[in-house]
Structure 1
Amino acid sequence: MAGFPVYGFLASLPWTALAVAGVLAATFAVAVAQRRHSVMDVAWGPGFVAVAAVSWLLSAGTGDDGRRLLLLLLTGVWGLRLGIHIGWRARGGHEDPRYEAILGGAPGSRNAYALRRVYLPQGMVMFFVSLTAQVGMFATGPLGWAALLGVVLWAVGFVFETVGDWQLAQFKKDPAHKGTVLNTGLWRYTRHPNYFGDAAVWTGLFLIAADSWPGILTVLSPALMIWALAGKTGKRLTEKAMSARPGYKQYVESTSGFIPWPPRRPAGGR
């Protein structure tokens, strides 16, 4: 790979893996103390920030400074915002039903089971998805049009995720909305503006990395994130939990499942 510091990048991998392990270990300690492993959700975004920060430090003097700084800032803004939002939302709460469903039938120690079923898989995903930023940090080529497109896509995703979360928080503040469905604002155009935003953010980061060889080889990293959000855990589990709410079936029929799109008219509607 001409121009790419292969050995420097490979030498950084144990340190970025250690950053992931450190975040997970600290999160596990807090989870055991609070008796709720859903604190992993709070650490998800900051974990990527920790990896990006370590990669930024280790790529100094090798990768393109503009790309390094851009990846650090964009990953940092996204990850810290997400961590603060989820932490504020979950303050003083109990175990999330999703985690209760996973850990409720734990054979033996619940905490040991959580290490295998929650922390290890999420740590592996965190490391793999963050390879986009890790490789991009060491890429030597200058920023080009793909990186500019990536910044635009990141901004679109960040707006969708941030505004979508804010609109949902405002909706939940009104007791009259309890048990109902949010179908206004961004939620009128996609049932999951926050998940779509997350996917767009990581696709944008990929384009910034892919602007210079060998960043394009990390395409499976954002693909894994999108697959998890749209098909495996995020969208599927959320909709399963929401399915019993009055009006949700009609909401599903009229509103795009992931990519924002004008709402469809209900069957038989005018």
Structure 2
Amino acid sequence: MKSILIVIAVTVFALAFALFAGAGSVEVYGVNAFLDCAFVALAVNWLAFIPAAIAQSDKYYDSVGAITYLSVTGFAVYAAWSALGTLDARAIVLAAMVALWCIRLGTFLYIRIKAKGGSDSRFEKIKTRPTRFLVAWTLQALWVILTASAALIAITTTDPHPIGVWFWIGAAVWVAGITIEAVADAQKSKFKSDPENDGDFIDVGLWKWSRHPNYFGEITLWTGILIMAIPVLSGLSWLAVISPLFVTLLLTKISGINLQEKQAQERWGDDPAYREYRRNTPALFPKPPKS
């Protein structure tokens, strides 16, 4: 019963957020397009949950997350095109940015989970309990709705604005963010694939500057998207500022740094080299390493 109540609460929150934040969005089928996007996100994850629960498998969880981003972005583009008859440059670029990010990250996560045998330790205790497993899929839909909110609101706005300085500043921030995230992921994959590094912690490349540079990159790129959306935000659509704030909260306090730091402490906490690395390297915001 507790899990069902959580699913209901998360669903109500997601739809209420989309209803209010999308007040300035075009309408499709008599509903603001951002709210329609929220319905799409929930539907994709609930449908994916059914075979996953039957098979008691989390193998495609991250892949469905990427599909959800693509689905809601595609629907937002469709909604804007249907209502306005055209798409402005900001909407086109934002849609392409979200698609590029989720395809890159989704592919990376799929390859990583496949290399681990198709199982994620996060779901070991819940995938055999359908209602608790459903909570995870519903939360993934909420994750997409909140994270992509700035992009979706800007794409579906009824009042597009010409490209200006905010667009270019945000685009530069986004490019920096996705570059940092992609490079950090590639460096870690290369490090782990080397048998000589078996059992060691990574402290090379960007990982010399930050213990979690990939997370810093992700926070940065969503901040860039919010900056690009600023000119079209007004009234309740300013709720879109939750996008990078939510990503930061998620990656630092819920399912990112806190969990990985705990695992690292358990694994290397007695290693003097790791303790030195931890003392001299910030958890998130990069800092040049000491010579």
The interval holding the TM-score normalised by the smaller chain is: 0.7 to 0.9
| Residue aligning to 1:228 | 250
Contact 1:132 1:205 (8 Å CA) reproduced:
yes
Contact 1:209 1:216 (8 Å CA) reproduced:
no
| Residue aligning to 2:27 | 8
State the secondary structure of the residue aligned to 1:59. helix
Aligned pairs for 1:14-163 within 5 A: 14-29=35-50, 31-32=52-53, 35-37=56-58, 39-60=60-81, 62=84, 65-91=88-114, 93-100=117-124, 103=126, 110-116=129-135, 118-139=136-157, 140-163=160-183
Q: Distance in 2 between matches of 1:171 and 1:30?
A: 35
| Residue aligning to 2:289 | 263
State the secondary structure of the residue aligned to 1:25. helix
| Residue aligning to 1:268 | none
Instruction: Tell me: CA distance 1:30–1:152, structure 2 relative to 1, closer, same or farther (3 Å).
Output: farther
- Write the letter of the residue equivalent to 1:113: R
Instruction: Tell me: CA distance 1:216–1:13, structure 2 relative to 1, closer, same or farther (3 Å).
Output: closer
Unpaired segments of 5 or more residues in structure 2? 1-22
Residues 1:252 and 2:278 aligned together: yes
How far does the alpha carbon of each residue in 1:51-70 deviate from its partner, in whole angstroms, 9 at most, with x for none? 11111110125386101101
Report the aligned-residue RMSD: 2.3
Selected match of 2:240 from 212, 218, 240: 218
Instruction: Tell me: CA distance 1:35–1:175, structure 2 relative to 1, closer, same or farther (3 Å).
Output: farther
State the secondary structure of the residue aligned to 2:202. coil
Instruction: Tell me: CA distance 1:58–1:155, structure 2 relative to 1, closer, same or farther (3 Å).
Output: same
State the secondary structure of the residue aligned to 2:64. helix
Q: Distance in 2 between matches of 1:38 and 1:240?
A: 24
Q: How far apart are 1:212 and its partner, in Å? A: 2.3
How far does the alpha carbon of each residue in 1:39-84 deviate from its partner, in whole angstroms, 9 at most, with x for none? 3223323322221111111012538610110111000000111111
Instruction: Tell me: CA distance 1:220–1:74, structure 2 relative to 1, closer, same or farther (3 Å).
Output: same
Tell me the TM-score normalised to structure 1 length.
0.86
Q: Distance in 1 between matches of 2:192 and 2:76?
A: 38
Contact 1:161 1:193 (8 Å CA) reproduced:
yes
How far does the alpha carbon of each residue in 1:85-138 deviate from its partner, in whole angstroms, 9 at most, with x for none? 1111111614322222x528xxxx51221102x112221222122221111113
Q: How far apart are 1:38 and its partner, in Å? A: 5.4
Instruction: Tell me: CA distance 1:46–1:248, structure 2 relative to 1, closer, same or farther (3 Å).
Output: farther
Instruction: Tell me: CA distance 1:179–1:48, structure 2 relative to 1, closer, same or farther (3 Å).
Output: same
State the secondary structure of the residue aligned to 1:219. helix
Q: Distance in 2 between matches of 1:86 and 1:125?
A: 16
Q: Which stretch of structure 1 is more off in the superposition, 163-172 or 62-71?
A: 62-71
Instruction: Tell me: CA distance 1:12–1:212, structure 2 relative to 1, closer, same or farther (3 Å).
Output: closer
Instruction: Tell me: CA distance 1:252–1:27, structure 2 relative to 1, closer, same or farther (3 Å).
Output: farther
Unpaired segments of 5 or more residues in structure 1? 266-270
- Write the letter of the residue equivalent to 1:131: S
Q: Distance in 2 between matches of 1:11 and 1:162?
A: 34
State the secondary structure of the residue aligned to 1:259. coil
Instruction: Tell me: CA distance 1:254–1:30, structure 2 relative to 1, closer, same or farther (3 Å).
Output: farther
State the secondary structure of the residue aligned to 2:286. coil
Q: Identity of aligned pairs, percent?
A: 25
Instruction: Tell me: CA distance 1:6–1:96, structure 2 relative to 1, closer, same or farther (3 Å).
Output: closer
Residues 1:200 and 2:223 aligned together: no
Q: Distance in 2 between matches of 1:103 and 1:50?
A: 26
Q: Which stretch of structure 1 is more off in the superposition, 29-38 or 213-222?
A: 29-38
Q: Distance in 1 between matches of 2:48 and 2:278?
A: 35
Give the paired residue count: 256
- Write the letter of the residue equivalent to 1:138: T
